[in-house]
Amino acid sequence: MKLHELRDNPGAAKTKKRVARGPGSGKGKTAGRGIKGQKSRSGVAIKGFEGGQMPLHRRLPKRGFTNKMFTKNFAVVNLGAIQRFIDDDKIDAKSVIDEAVLVNSGLVRRKRDGVRVLAKGELTSKGLKIDVTGASKAAIAAVEASGGTLSVKAAAEASAE
């Protein structure tokens, strides 16, 4: 093989379609935009416009209400993740597992308005003592089934910290 025989793979280098460059290009004159009208002009972006008809996003009713002033933003931890950190010796199963322990181990990045434990994953450690701001009923049941306790702080206590 010589230098002048080098070629790109077929279909690897596709030439750009040059619009509005004469009738021979196949996209000459109006450049594939049709004749006249708003969409043939430059600088037009019609997203929800339906030609004078009331747009769909304005026809549909607004439903519900979210009170953002009082919403709580919890850091979520699954039981399976806690078990994995216990297995990796990042969390001591014999001591009380509270929010500070979860943050220091790296399982939770930020405490936010508290830590909430969910029941996803399997818990094999026995006799865990977990103390967090919130927990699902299934998570409480799973910890108690393994012989441990999962205590949930009152909202006033959690906000005082």
**Quick one: 57 and 120 in the same domain?**
no
In-domain check, residue 93: yes
**Quick one: 141 and 99 in the same domain?**
yes
Helix (H, G, I), strand (E, B), or coil: what is residue 57?
A: helix
In-domain check, residue 10: no
**Average pLDDT for residues 72-77, to the nearest whole number?**
92
**Quick one: 52 and 79 in the same domain?**
no
Compute the mean pLDDT over every residue in the chain, rounded to the nearest whole number: 88
Residue whose C-alpha is closest to residue 143's, from 129, 160, 161: 129
Domain hosting 101: range is 75-160
Count structural domains, the chain.
Answer: 2
**Quick one: 30 and 99 in the same domain?**
no
- Domain-ending residue, one of 23, 40, 64: 64
**Quick one: 107 and 153 in the same domain?**
yes
- Looking at residue 159, its pLDDT comes to 53
**Quick one: 138 and 105 in the same domain?**
yes
- Looking at residue 37, its pLDDT comes to 87
CA count, 13 A, side-chain hemisphere, 94: 1
**Quick one: 88 and 128 in the same domain?**
yes
Per-residue pLDDT of 41-62, as tens digits, reads: 888 878 888 888 999 999 999 9
Task: Pick the more confident residue, 6 or 49.
Answer: 6
129 confidence band (pLDDT: 50, 70, 90): very high
Residue-wise burial string across 102-131, b where 16 or more C-beta atoms lie within 10 A, e elsewhere = beebebbeebeebbbbbbebebebeebebb
**Quick one: 91 and 155 in the same domain?**
yes
State the greatest distance between any 2 C-alpha atoms of the chain, in Å, as a whole number: 81
Q: Please give the Cα distance from 81 to 69 (Å, whole number).
A: 31
**Quick one: 35 and 86 in the same domain?**
no
**Quick one: 96 and 38 in the same domain?**
no
In-domain check, residue 129: yes
Q: Are strands 149-152 and 129-132 parallel, antiparallel or unpaired?
A: parallel
